[in-house]
C-alpha cells in the first residue's frame, strides 16, 4: 500500500504541469515552458511567437493573483491574443489584478524590503555612483530588497536608486531627464566569501549609453520553481515602456522575458 502511494505520488509529481505565464497590468509578459523562459508577443519580440496551443495548455489549470510581497491567491482569468499589427499582445480578460500567474502556486520566497533611508545602502549607492563619474552624488533609494536571488543560500541585495524620486525624474513626456546630472540605476550587492561587491545591472542618464530611462521594481517571486528568484521590473523611456522578468546567476542579472510597446 505504501509503495503504491509513493508510486502514485511520484507519477503525479512528474506529470504535474511545471510551466506558466506571467501577466503584468493585464498583459502577458513571459512564458515558462519545457524548462525555459521566453517572451510573450509584443512589438519587442525577437524570438518565435508563442503558439495559441501553448497558451491554452498553460492557462487550463489554476491561476494566481500575486502580491509584490509574495502572497498568492487563487483567481480566474483568461488570456486572449490581440493581433494588433504594431502592438500585438496577450491580454488578460476577466481579472484586473496587476500580477497574474497562470501556473502552479509559486514557491514561497523570503523578500525583505529595507527602509529607504538606510545609511548603509545610501553609502553603497554613493560608492557606486563614484564609479560612474559622479563623486558628489546625493542619491535617493527607490527600492532595496534583500533576497536570495540566485538560490545559493546567501541573500543578495537588489537596489534601485536615482537622482530624484521616481515621480520627479519626469520621463513620461520628456525624452530626457530634467537635467544632465539626473540618473537612475539598478545594482546588486553580492557577498563573495568575505568580501562584498556591487554589480551594475542598468544605468540611465541623458548622456549614458542607454540614454535616459527609469527602472522600477514591480515584484520578486519564485515562479518557475527552480532555486532563485524571478525579478519583475518596469522600464520607461520616451514614449516607450516594457516589463521584464530577470534572473540573477553567477554574478549576472539576465533578462529572460520582456514585453512592451513604444515608438
Ligand atoms: Ca544568493
User: Do 213 and 184 belong to one domain?
Assistant: yes
User: Do 253 and 145 belong to one domain?
Assistant: yes
Q: Which of 102, 132, 162 is the last residue of a domain?
A: 102
The model's pTM: 0.92
The alpha carbon of 148 and the centre of ligand 1 are apart by a number of angstroms equal to 4
Among 13-17, 176-180, 208-212, 255-259, which stretch is predicted with the lowest mean pLDDT? 13-17
Q: Which of 102, 133, 152 is the last residue of a domain?
A: 102
DSSP 3-state assignment of 117? coil
Side-chain half-sphere CA neighbours of 133 within 13 A: 8
The alpha carbon of 197 and the centre of ligand 1 are apart by a number of angstroms equal to 13
The alpha carbon of 89 and the centre of ligand 1 are apart by a number of angstroms equal to 33
State residue 184's pLDDT score: 98
Q: What is the band of 263 on the pLDDT scale with cuts at 50, 70, 90?
A: low
Q: Could you give the CA distance from residue 111 to residue 17 in angstroms, rounded to a whole number?
A: 26
State residue 233's pLDDT score: 98
pLDDT tens digits, 120-166: 999 999 999 999 999 999 999 999 999 999 999 999 999 999 999 99
The alpha carbon of 195 and the centre of ligand 1 are apart by a number of angstroms equal to 14
The alpha carbon of 63 and the centre of ligand 1 are apart by a number of angstroms equal to 28
Phi/psi at 110 (5° precision): -90, 120
Full residue range of the structural domain in which residue 47 is found: 2-102
pLDDT tens digits, 180-215: 999 999 999 999 888 999 999 999 999 999 899 999
Is the CB of residue 69 less than 8 Å from the CB of residue 185?
A: no
C-alpha grid cell, residue 172: 513620461
The alpha carbon of 154 and the centre of ligand 1 are apart by a number of angstroms equal to 4
DSSP 3-state assignment of 54? helix
Is the CB of residue 185 less than 8 Å from the CB of residue 208?
A: no
Phi/psi at 48 (5° precision): -70, 155
The alpha carbon of 104 and the centre of ligand 1 are apart by a number of angstroms equal to 24
User: Do 125 and 247 belong to one domain?
Assistant: yes
User: Do 131 and 210 belong to one domain?
Assistant: yes
Max CA distance (Å), the chain:
72
The alpha carbon of 11 and the centre of ligand 1 are apart by a number of angstroms equal to 32
Phi/psi at 57 (5° precision): -65, -45
DSSP 3-state assignment of 68? coil
Is residue 202 included in any domain, yes or no? Answer: yes
The alpha carbon of 191 and the centre of ligand 1 are apart by a number of angstroms equal to 8
Q: Could you give the CA distance from residue 23 to residue 48 in angstroms, rounded to a whole number?
A: 18
The alpha carbon of 207 and the centre of ligand 1 are apart by a number of angstroms equal to 33
pLDDT tens digits, 91-130: 999 999 999 999 999 988 999 999 999 999 999 999 999 9
Amino acid at each position: 500500500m505504501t509503495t503504491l502511494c509513493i508510486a502514485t505520488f511520484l507519477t503525479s509529481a512528474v506529470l504535474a504541469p511545471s510551466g506558466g505565464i506571467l501577466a503584468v497590468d493585464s498583459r502577458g509578459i513571459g512564458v515558462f515552458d519545457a524548462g525555459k523562459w521566453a517572451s510573450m508577443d509584443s512589438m519587442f519580440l525577437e524570438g518565435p511567437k508563442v503558439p495559441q496551443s501553448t497558451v491554452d495548455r498553460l492557462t487550463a489549470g489554476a491561476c494566481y493573483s500575486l502580491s509584490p510581497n509574495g502572497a498568492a491567491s487563487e483567481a480566474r482569468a483568461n488570456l486572449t491574443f490581440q493581433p494588433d499589427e504594431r502592438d500585438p499582445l496577450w491580454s488578460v480578460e476577466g481579472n484586473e489584478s496587476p500580477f497574474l500567474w497562470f501556473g502552479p502556486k509559486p514557491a514561497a520566497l523570503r523578500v525583505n524590503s529595507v527602509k529607504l533611508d538606510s545609511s548603509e545602502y545610501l553609502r553603497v549607492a554613493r560608492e557606486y555612483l563614484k564609479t560612474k563619474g559622479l563623486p558628489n552624488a546625493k542619491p535617493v533609494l527607490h527600492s532595496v530588497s534583500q533576497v536570495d536571488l540566485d538560490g545559493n543560500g546567501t541573500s543578495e541585495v537588489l537596489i534601485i536608486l536615482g537622482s530624484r524620486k521616481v515621480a520627479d525624474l519626469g520621463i513620461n513626456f520628456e525624452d530626457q531627464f530634467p537635467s544632465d546630472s539626473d540618473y537612475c540605476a539598478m545594482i546588486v550587492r553580492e557577498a563573495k566569501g568575505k568580501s562584498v561587491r556591487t554589480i551594475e545591472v542598468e544605468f540611465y542618464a541623458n548622456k549614458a549609453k542607454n540614454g535616459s530611462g527609469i527602472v522600477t521594481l514591480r515584484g520578486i517571486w519564485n515562479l518557475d520553481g527552480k532555486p532563485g528568484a524571478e525579478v519583475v521590473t518596469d522600464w520607461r523611456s520616451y514614449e516607450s515602456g516594457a516589463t521584464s522578468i530577470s534572473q540573477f546567476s553567477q554574478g549576472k542579472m539576465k533578462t529572460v522575458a520582456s514585453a512592451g510597446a513604444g515608438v
